[in-house]
């Protein structure tokens, strides 16, 4: 047999595979991999009657070459349903490019650059777009919008019988969210303030000790993380973590949780590979530890019984029997673990960005401190959130730092269902497309925040402003595009708790201490700290080194 006789069938097989994969997307990596290896082998045997190495190589190269070329050509062709949407070429070709971008931690910044270059709607993957147009907020995230995309699937542990709230859709989400909302009522929030106050006292005690040392320097972001993590542990499982008292992540759990979310946020771009990953011994160590962590803490919380002060577990478990059908233990367990992720990294991210904005704007910092002093002349009242409404400048500073540095910087996508399409921001978006509304890019768009959208200007939140202006001459502040807590039915379930927490912590810190950048810090640990921010659904950053002195 002439080797060329293999070429035509191998090309046809490659094209047939493209047609198949276009219709039936893989749900894992091992099955397609098996068939991608087996098919050219079978073809070689069928056509040549033997399995000579040279024929196998020829058939495999032709088959894989045709399949890859056909996929790339189609994705870049004018026949692709997203061909009309501009974007970086490599993004259109493969999601593996998206994985590389996600690993860099630069996804949010990159998306903003691409929007600046190409406009409001850009293509960020073969079947993925990113939109920064204001209309998209309501039409995608609001009532009648879209459900969460397949990107979220790996965020749930497939071996558990229940998914966490962030991964639920439709009625199942609404039911779970109803329970969460009860846990976030004004009455519940008052109860949580007491839990937070205890942890905040611990933080202040530890900072007092550091302030007494000769150098009095510390990584403030680290101590803020200890506080938010301990607090979320108290909320979700009635305690169990003592990073503030231990002065660190003694059993490494915080590191494991962050690594787990980071890895998941990267792999979620090629989520079909995750089931294969989970089959490889050793690679699912993180998931195993998280599972053990959840069940150990849930077990401890159940054993200790209802707390005097109602924590989040109390509500999630429906310990006061509001629900006809009680939530199951796995449901509460996964939500408890999720609360720790969702509630600690975001709040510490918000507080760290706020601190950095203050330290880089000493004039505003001085005014915020004066405001805190006047609202809380008696430091004993600092844990009373009733007065938060009077902290106008401090709140504006948080709005502004959350605008510039939203903790979930790229957001998570929604997806157009199969068999449907949408017109969003005047663009046709076909079935199956995942749509990102990246808070970082949206909140820095001059169409929504003008002038100086990249500049820290908290007073923009205090001035009267118009929403839109055709010639961009007037100030613009479009509240609808403030997405740091997302928007709609699946926005942050604990937005009000988060606001109380960050304001209370910032007030307490400013009332008691003066902060300035540490002399020993590198630029990335001080003045240029913002450049070190990496976006992995959780935030990664350099240390934020400060010098601390007590004010009294």
Cβ atoms 338, 164 nearer than 8 A: yes
CB 293 to ligand HEM: min, Å: 16
Rank residues 6 and 266 by Cβ distance to ligand HEM and give the closer one: 266
Cβ atoms 122, 75 nearer than 8 A: no
Rank residues 347 and 478 by Cβ distance to ligand HEM and give the closer one: 347
Contacting range for ligand HEM; rule: CB under 6 A; set: 75-83, 100-108, 345-353, 361-369: 345-353
Both tokens of residue 44? 């070689």
Please select the residue that binds ligand HEM; options are 350, 357, 397, 541, rule is CB under 6 A.
Answer: 350
Q: For tokens 């820290």, what's the residue?
A: 456
Both tokens of residue 231? 């607090």
Please state the residue numbers annotated as binding site for heme: 492
Sheet of 414-415: strand order equals 121-125, 128-131, 434-436, 414-415, 147-148
Q: For tokens 């079935």, what's the residue?
A: 431
Distance of CA 406 to the CA centre of its chain: 9
CB 43 to ligand HEM: min, Å: 44
Q: How far apart are the C-alpha atoms of 333 and 104, rounded to whole Å? A: 32
497 binds ligand HEM (CB under 6 A): yes
What is the contact mask toward ligand HEM in residues 147 to 176, using x (rule: CB under 6 A)? Answer: ------------------xx----------
177 binds ligand HEM (CB under 6 A): yes
Cβ atoms 108, 438 nearer than 8 A: yes
CB 367 to ligand HEM: min, Å: 22
Q: How far apart are the C-alpha atoms of 371 and 366, rounded to whole Å? A: 9
Nearest partner of 178 among 497, 493, 396, judged by Cα: 493
Contacting range for ligand HEM; rule: CB under 6 A; set: 80-88, 127-135, 382-390, 487-495: 487-495
343 binds ligand HEM (CB under 6 A): yes
407 binds ligand HEM (CB under 6 A): yes
Please select the residue that binds ligand HEM; options are 55, 445, 486, 507, rule is CB under 6 A.
Answer: 486
Q: How far apart are the C-alpha atoms of 72 and 65, rounded to whole Å? A: 11
182 binds ligand HEM (CB under 6 A): no
485 binds ligand HEM (CB under 6 A): yes
Rank residues 175 and 360 by Cβ distance to ligand HEM and give the closer one: 175
Please select the residue that binds ligand HEM; options are 59, 253, 408, 538, rule is CB under 6 A.
Answer: 408
Please select the residue that binds ligand HEM; options are 126, 260, 412, 534, rule is CB under 6 A.
Answer: 412
Nearest partner of 539 among 457, 439, 396, judged by Cα: 439
Q: In angstroms, how far is the first alpha carbon of the chain from the final one?
A: 92
Rank residues 177 and 447 by Cβ distance to ligand HEM and give the closer one: 177
Q: How far apart are the C-alpha atoms of 20 and 536, rounded to whole Å? A: 33
CB 309 to ligand HEM: min, Å: 16
Nearest 10 degrees: CA dihedral of 397, 523, 546, 104? Answer: 70
CB 142 to ligand HEM: min, Å: 13
Q: How far apart are the C-alpha atoms of 18 and 16, rounded to whole Å? A: 5
Please give the residue ranges that form the binding site for ligand HEM (CB under 6 A): 165-166, 177, 180, 339, 342-343, 346-347, 350, 407-408, 412, 484-486, 490, 492-494, 497-498, 502
């Amino acid at each position: 047999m002439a080797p060329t006789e293999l070429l035509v069938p191998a090309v046809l097989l490659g094209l047939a595979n493209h047609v198949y994969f276009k219709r039936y997307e893989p749900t894992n990596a091992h099955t397609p991999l098996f068939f991608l290896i087996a098919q050219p082998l079978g073809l070689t045997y069928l056509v040549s009657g033997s399995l000579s190495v040279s024929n196998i190589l020829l058939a495999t190269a032709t088959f894989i070459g045709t399949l890859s070329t056909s996929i790339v050509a189609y994705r870049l062709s004018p026949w692709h349903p997203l061909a009309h949407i501009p974007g970086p070429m490599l993004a259109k070709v493969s999601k593996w490019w998206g994985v590389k971008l996600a690993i860099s931690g630069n996804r949010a910044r990159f998306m903003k650059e691409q929007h600046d270059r190409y406009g409001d709607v850009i293509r960020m993957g073969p079947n993925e777009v990113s939109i920064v147009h204001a209309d998209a907020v309501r039409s995608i995230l609001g009532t009648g919008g879209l459900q969460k995309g397949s990107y979220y699937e790996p965020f749930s542990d497939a071996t558990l019988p229940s998914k966490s709230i962030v991964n639920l859709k439709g009625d199942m989400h609404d039911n779970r969210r109803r329970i969460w909302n009860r846990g976030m009522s004004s009455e519940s929030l008052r109860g949580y303030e007491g839990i937070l106050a205890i942890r905040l006292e611990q933080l202040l005690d530890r900072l007092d000790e550091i302030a007494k040392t000769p150098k009095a320097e510390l990584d403030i972001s680290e101590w803020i993380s200890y506080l938010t993590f301990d607090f979320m542990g108290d909320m979700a499982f009635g305690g169990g973590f003592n990073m503030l008292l231990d002065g660190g992540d003694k059993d490494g759990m915080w590191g494991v949780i962050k690594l787990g979310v980071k890895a998941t946020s990267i792999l979620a771009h090629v989520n079909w590979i995750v089931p294969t990953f989970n089959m490889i011994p050793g690679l699912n160590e993180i998931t195993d530890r998280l599972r053990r962590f959840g069940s150990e803490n849930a077990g401890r919380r159940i054993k200790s019984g209802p707390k005097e002060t109602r924590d989040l577990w109390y509500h999630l478990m429906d310990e006061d029997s509001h629900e006809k059908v009680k939530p199951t233990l796995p449901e509460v367990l996964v939500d408890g673990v999720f609360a720790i992720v969702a509630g600690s990294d975001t709040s510490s991210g918000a507080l760290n960005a706020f601190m950095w904005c203050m330290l880089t704007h000493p004039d505003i910092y001085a005014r915020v401190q004066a405001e805190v002093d006047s609202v809380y002349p008696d430091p004993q009242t600092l844990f009373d959130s009733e007065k938060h409404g009077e902290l106008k400048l401090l709140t504006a500073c948080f709005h502004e730092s959350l605008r510039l540095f939203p903790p979930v910087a790229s957001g998570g996508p929604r997806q157009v269902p199969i068999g449907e399409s949408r017109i969003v921001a005047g663009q046709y978006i076909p079935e199956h497309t995942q749509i990102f509304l990246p808070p970082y890019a949206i909140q820095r768009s001059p169409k929504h925040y003008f002038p100086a959208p990249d500049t820290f200007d908290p007073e923009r939140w205090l001035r009267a402003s118009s929403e839109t202006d055709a010639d961009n001459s007037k100030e613009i502040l479009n509240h609808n595009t403030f997405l740091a807590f997302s928007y709609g039915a699946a926005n942050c379930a604990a937005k009000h708790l988060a606001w109380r927490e960050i304001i209370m912590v910032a007030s307490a810190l400013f009332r008691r201490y003066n902060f300035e950048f540490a002399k020993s810090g590198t630029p990335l640990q001080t003045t240029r700290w913002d450049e070190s921010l990496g976006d992995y659904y959780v935030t990664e950053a350099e240390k934020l080194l400060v010098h601390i002195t007590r004010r009294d």
